[in-house]
């Protein structure tokens, strides 16, 4: 007959490893609650926030990496969900977009790498993927930033805009260099 404390220990270990296995195997990744730009506009009517736009394409490997590494990081997902209206924009989508009463379309549907006019406007014609764009609380485009960013770098960029540091001196690179966030190297 097993000693009561040994039986409790074995039961506790099974429970602990079972829960750990379940959490790992169920793919409990952090998730950004992505919106369309139209949905973000609607939400702005209820609560003004900055809008964060991830501009990507289906064929872009760095875009997939940013989705799988950066946006899946729990700190980044939580930060985006709590402080911004996060928008995912396929730069080559075929559907029209209505933003602030203006209709944007992909005028080259069916052509190879046909770029949507809204993506062109956001990136100011500098088509680089992935890129992120930021709108202020009045839905005015602040800037677009090209390139892949790992979670730690993205945390600094998000904080630069969310804290209003962009209004103070506007030096993103200096801010990122001195930023001490919650994501370790």
- pLDDT tens digits for 7-51? 433 433 333 333 333 333 334 568 999 999 999 999 999 999 999
Residue 85 contacts residue 49 (beta carbons within 8 Å): yes
Joined tokens for residue 70? 């950066």
What does pTM read for this prediction?
0.82
**Residue 137, C-beta contacts closer than 8 angstroms, at least 6 positions apart:** 44, 48, 49, 50
| Euclidean distance between CA atoms 147 and 62, whole angstroms | 8
- Of 75 and 109, the structure prediction assigns the larger pLDDT to 75
Residue 142 contacts residue 172 (beta carbons within 8 Å): no
Q: What is the pLDDT of residues 124-161, one digit of tens each?
A: 999 999 999 999 999 999 999 999 999 999 999 999 99
| Euclidean distance between CA atoms 165 and 180, whole angstroms | 14
| Euclidean distance between CA atoms 65 and 70, whole angstroms | 8
């Amino acid at each position: 007959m097993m000693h009561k404390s040994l039986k409790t220990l074995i039961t506790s270990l099974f429970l602990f490893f079972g829960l750990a296995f379940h959490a790992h195997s169920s793919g409990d990744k952090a998730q950004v609650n992505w919106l369309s730009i139209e949905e973000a506009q609607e939400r702005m009517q209820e609560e003004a926030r900055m809008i964060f736009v991830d501009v990507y394409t289906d064929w872009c490997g760095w875009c997939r990496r940013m989705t799988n590494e950066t946006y899946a990081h729990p700190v980044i997902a939580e930060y985006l969900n709590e402080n911004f209206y996060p928008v995912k924009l396929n730069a080559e989508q075929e559907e029209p977009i209505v933003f602030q009463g203006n209709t944007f379309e992909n005028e080259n549907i069916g052509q190879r790498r046909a770029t949507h006019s809204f993506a062109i406007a956001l990136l100011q014609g500098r088509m680089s993927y992935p890129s992120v764009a930021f709108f202020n609380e009045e839905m005015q485009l602040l800037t677009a930033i090209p390139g892949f960013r790992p979670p730690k770098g993205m945390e600094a960029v998000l904080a630069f805009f969310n804290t209003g540091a962009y209004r103070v001196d506007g030096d993103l690179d200096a801010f990122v260099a001195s930023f001490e966030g919650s994501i370790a190297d």
